[in-house]
Amino acid sequence: MDDDRARWSVIIGCILIVGTAASIDVVLFDSSVDDALVLMTVLTVILLLCLLAWRSILGFPARETDPEFPSRRSLIIQLASIVFVAFTPLMLRAFEVREVEQTLTQASRAAFSSDDAQKVEMRLAAARANRLRVDSRVLQVAGAAFINTSGENPDAWSTVREFLSYRSFLNVSLYPKVTPATGTSNYRTTVTITNLGPHQDQPALHVIFAGGYASGENSARLESLANPQPVGSEFSYFIIEGGNATLGLDGEFMKNVIIRDADISYAGGAVRLENVWFVNCTFHDYTLKGKATNLGETILASASVTFVTSS
């Protein structure tokens, strides 16, 4: 155990042999991961026993009474490799962000085909999944280009939905972090559910008062335009936590509302949104009708959405 170089050769040898054997087992022989783990355990034990037997035959090296510190050159190389490894993921992320931005910029400049629209959609979905943060101005310009051409190129609308979802992902770090409020209110909230997902065990949506007291005019609202409430909620914010349901915007009056992790639908109808934050939402049922393009542009333009339309 005192022979440092030999010991680490054995460790690296073990890693290479056992890791490669398990990879071959899964890739070439279609074994399950569990079987590969059993194989790895058995191989590790066999290698360890072989090593002990080999050392017993040859004899353990004499104990070092005064171990030496690694040489400066060795230390510098090892520390440099650690720094390199630590910074490489950051460089890779920066490269990936630039790649997405270039794709968006190129797509927004040229007349794009259905393939281009699909490529942009996939890139944005991958960027969202990998939590890459693209510049919101690039996103706004490219998204507006897709929205403007969606009339002639209906394939682009699916990409527009992904733009909206991505913008709401960017809002994760921007929305006001208010805490749930205690107390009660006579205010009656109304939300529209347009669809239910397959996970029936999950709650449809969860509405929370948040941010403390606010006077009537400044307080949050969450009601139907067809059934207006006489006074505000007297709470600063409403938080709508997404669940199994799709939240409809048509016919809603929302003021100071944070919508988190929800699926959003909109069919271009009347809506009044004041200081509404879409955070990590998806827009699967956001259809190309009525004022949907205008609301889409507004969502892409800023984190907090204020938008009023009567049709």
Partner 1 sequence: MDTEKAFRLELWDAELRPWFLHVIPDAIKSVSILGVLLLFWEGVALLRFLGYPDDLLQRLEKTHFFFIWIALVAISINFVLKLVISTWRK
Which residues of the shown chain bind partner 1 in the complex (CB under 8 A)? 1, 4, 7-8, 11-12, 14-15, 18-19, 22-23, 26-27, 33, 36-37, 40, 44, 48, 63, 66-70, 75, 78-79, 81-82, 85-86, 88-89, 92, 95-96, 99, 122, 126, 130
DSSP alpha helices (H): ranges in 30-180?
Answer: 33-58, 72-109, 114-129, 136-149, 156-170
Closer to partner 1 by CB, 53 or 196: give it.
Answer: 53
Q: For residue 9, give the 3-state DSSP assignment.
A: helix
Closer to partner 1 by CB, 130 or 287: give it.
Answer: 130
Strand 263-266 and strand 192-196: pairing? unpaired
Closer to partner 1 by CB, 92 or 226: give it.
Answer: 92
Q: Are 35 and 13 in contact (CB under 8 A)?
A: no
HSE value, Cβ hemisphere, 13 Å, CA-based, for 152:
7
Taking the complex as a whole, the smallest distance from the CB of residue 24 to partner 1 amounts, in Å, to 9
Closer to partner 1 by CB, 45 or 308: give it.
Answer: 45
Question: What is the radius of gyration, based on Cα positions, of the chain?
Answer: 29
Distance of alpha carbon 103 from alpha carbon 196, whole angstroms: 34
Instruction: Identify the bridge partners of residue 282 per DSSP, sorted by sequence position.
Output: 263
Q: Are 265 and 246 in contact (CB under 8 A)?
A: yes
Closer to partner 1 by CB, 12 or 174: give it.
Answer: 12
Tell me the C-alpha to C-alpha distance, in Å, between residue 4 and each of 13, 14, 68, 117, 172: 14, 15, 10, 56, 48
Taking the complex as a whole, the smallest distance from the CB of residue 125 to partner 1 amounts, in Å, to 11
Taking the complex as a whole, the smallest distance from the CB of residue 236 to partner 1 amounts, in Å, to 40
Taking the complex as a whole, the smallest distance from the CB of residue 170 to partner 1 amounts, in Å, to 18
Closer to partner 1 by CB, 17 or 270: give it.
Answer: 17
Taking the complex as a whole, the smallest distance from the CB of residue 102 to partner 1 amounts, in Å, to 13
Taking the complex as a whole, the smallest distance from the CB of residue 19 to partner 1 amounts, in Å, to 4
Burial 197-217 (b: 16+ CB within 10 A, else e): eeeeeeeebeebbbbeebeee
Taking the complex as a whole, the smallest distance from the CB of residue 90 to partner 1 amounts, in Å, to 10
First to last CA, the chain: 79
Taking the complex as a whole, the smallest distance from the CB of residue 26 to partner 1 amounts, in Å, to 5
Closer to partner 1 by CB, 27 or 308: give it.
Answer: 27
Closer to partner 1 by CB, 15 or 174: give it.
Answer: 15
CB-CB neighbours of 39 under 10 Å: 17
Show the tokens assigned to 205.
Answer: 């949506």
Whose tokens are 């355990």? That residue is: 41
